[in-house]
């Protein structure tokens, strides 16, 4: 039998026997979408679980992001990060907004708040930061700048489901936050997403926007879109929520194992815990310094493949390097993001990833490190003998 490929992630599914009665109920009711009972129940359950005021469910995170920009009438220029999944910037483009890229900070790979001010012009209307890998941005500094310049803040929190800072959901920051429930995320509804908002009126407007702008049978209040989550996904999501805490525990266990195994390898950096943050352990990126480690990121990527292990270079290339965006003036001088995107590999991380696979990955990296160290020592010895 062919050995199963180890991919960067493997979706977590709820127990099938618990899902079947919910499917039977949906079959019986013939209510499949458009704000059905599971949709309503799931929104309430999510708000309670996350500790946020209002949740508006969506068909996916990208449509949620596009609708969030519509909801706040964002136009002109928006400051954002080049170090993210393309959807962050595509949502701006689809709204006719000009993305303005600002470099990231090296510690957690989030938008550098110190460089935002220099990028503000009279056309700037908002900031769109991303909590990359689920690690919170400098939310206070970003809000402070937004307040001074009268800008809106929309967080792309696609990776940050369940993350808390000082005990409060990270989704409570900014004017709006969006999350993704895609199959590859810590919490999935197969496809899916949500906007988190602070008040009832905003929720009502978002709910119109995701349903063609329909307010009632004869009233259309905005050029909305169809971005609704269906009943099957909402029921599935309700079950997923029951198991989410155990998912986080399992992810934390793997993260600790990786950190422990990598800490003695020079040339490989990984992200540490942040102070006063409850993490969701969404990704485990490592950053390879070729000079120090002796092999490049791509050497490691290929070496893993020989063991049937498939990491992912999230996020390489940068969004600002893709054809749609590379001619923008702000696509230049993004030195930190450029460097990090060439060093990164996300290692496999999902709740049922066997410990033995983590051990295989760690010993492969350790072997490469030992071999490179020997080569470097021989090179130094030869150089000194030649002198």
Binding site for ligand T4K (CB under 6 A): 7-11, 60-62, 84-85, 87-88, 130, 156, 158-159, 180, 182-184, 193, 310, 312, 314
* Backbone dihedral region for residue 73 (phi beyond 0: left; psi -120 to 50: alpha; all else: beta): left
Q: How far apart are the first and last CA of the chain?
A: 56
Q: Which is nearer to ligand T4K, 60 or 125 (CB)?
A: 60
| Beta strand 219-220 pairing with 77-80 | unpaired
For 148, other C-beta atoms within 10 Å of its C-beta total 10
Q: How far is the CB of 18 from ligand T4K (least distance, A)?
A: 20
Q: Which residue is nearest to ligand T4K (CB)?
A: 61
**Rounded to an integer, what distance in angstroms lies between the CA atom of residue 363 and that of residue 349?**
17
Q: Which residues pair with 130 in a beta bridge?
A: 156
Question: By the 8 A CB rule, do 188 and 55 touch?
Answer: no
State which residue, 9 or 169, has the beta carbon closest to ligand T4K.
9
4 vs 386, beta carbon nearer ligand T4K: 4
CB of 293 to ligand T4K, least distance (A): 24
Closest distance of CB 216 from ligand T4K, Å: 29
* CA pair distance 348, 187, nearest whole angstrom: 16
Least distance to ligand T4K from the beta carbon of 276, Å?
23
CB atoms within 10 A of CB 325: 20
CB 122 within 8 A of CB 147: no
- The nearest distance, CB 184 to ligand T4K, in angstroms, is 5
**Closest distance between ligand T4K and the C-beta of residue 82, in Å?**
12
Nearer CB in complex with ligand T4K: 8/262: 8
292 CB neighbour count, 10 Å cutoff: 14
Taking the C-alpha atoms of residue 136 and residue 155, their distance in angstroms, rounded to an integer, is: 10
Smallest distance from ligand T4K to CB 385, Å: 47
Supply the minimum distance, in Å, between the C-beta of residue 369 and ligand T4K.
Answer: 25
Structure-token pair, residue 78: 């928006």
Of 8 and 347, the one with the shorter C-beta distance to ligand T4K is 8
Q: Which is nearer to ligand T4K, 129 or 267 (CB)?
A: 129
Q: Which residues, at least 6 apart from 169, have a Cβ–Cβ distance to it below 8 Å?
A: 50, 51, 52, 163, 196
| CB nearer ligand T4K, residue 193 or residue 294 | 193
Paired sense of beta strands 152-156 and 77-80, if any: unpaired
> How many angstroms from the chain centroid is the CA of residue 286?
16
User: Rounded to the nearest 10 degrees, what angle do helices 355-386 and 231-262 cross at?
Assistant: 40
Return the number of the residue (156 or 207) whose C-beta is nearest ligand T4K: 156
């Amino acid at each position: 039998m062919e050995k199963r490929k180890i991919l960067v992630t493997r979706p977590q599914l709820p127990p099938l026997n618990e899902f079947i009665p919910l499917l039977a109920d949906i079959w019986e009711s013939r209510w499949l979408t458009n704000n059905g009972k599971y949709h309503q129940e799931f929104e309430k359950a999510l708000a309670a679980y996350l500790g946020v005021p209002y949740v508006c469910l969506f068909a996916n995170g990208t449509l949620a992001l596009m609708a969030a920009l519509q909801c706040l009438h964002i136009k002109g220029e928006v400051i954002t990060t080049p170090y993210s999944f393309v959807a962050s910037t595509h949502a701006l483009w689809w709204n006719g907004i000009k993305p303005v890229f600002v470099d990231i900070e090296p510690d957690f790979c989030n938008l550098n708040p110190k460089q935002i001010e220099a990028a503000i012009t009279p056309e700037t209307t908002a900031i769109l930061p991303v909590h990359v890998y689920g690690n919170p941005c400098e939310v206070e500094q970003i809000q402070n700048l937004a307040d001074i310049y009268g800008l809106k803040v929309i967080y792309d929190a696609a990776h940050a489901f369940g993350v808390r800072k000082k005990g409060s959901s990270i989704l409570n920051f900014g004017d709006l936050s969006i999350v993704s429930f895609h199959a590859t995320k810590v919490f999935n509804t197969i496809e899916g997403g949500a906007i988190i908002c602070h008040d009832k009126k905003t929720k009502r407007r978002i709910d119109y926007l995701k349903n063609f702008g329909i307010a009632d049978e004869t009233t259309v209040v905005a050029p909305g879109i169809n971005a609704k989550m269906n009943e099957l996904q909402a029921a599935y999501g309700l079950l997923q929520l029951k198991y989410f805490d155990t998912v986080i525990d399992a992810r934390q266990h793997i993260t600790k194992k990786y950190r422990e195994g990598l800490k003695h390898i020079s040339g490989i950096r990984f992200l540490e815990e942040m102070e006063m943050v409850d993490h969701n352990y969404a990704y485990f990126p490592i950053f390879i310094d070729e000079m120090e480690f002796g092999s490049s990121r791509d050497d490691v990527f290929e070496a893993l493949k020989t063991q049937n292990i498939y990491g992912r270079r999230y996020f390489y290339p940068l969004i600002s390097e893709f054809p749609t965006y590379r001619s923008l003036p702000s696509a230049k001088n993004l030195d930190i993001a450029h460097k990090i995107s060439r060093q990164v590999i996300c290692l496999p991380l999902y709740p049922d990833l066997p410990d033995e696979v983590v051990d295989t990955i760690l010993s492969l990296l350790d072997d490469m490190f030992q071999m490179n160290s020997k080569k470097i020592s021989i090179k130094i010895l030869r150089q000194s003998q030649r002198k």
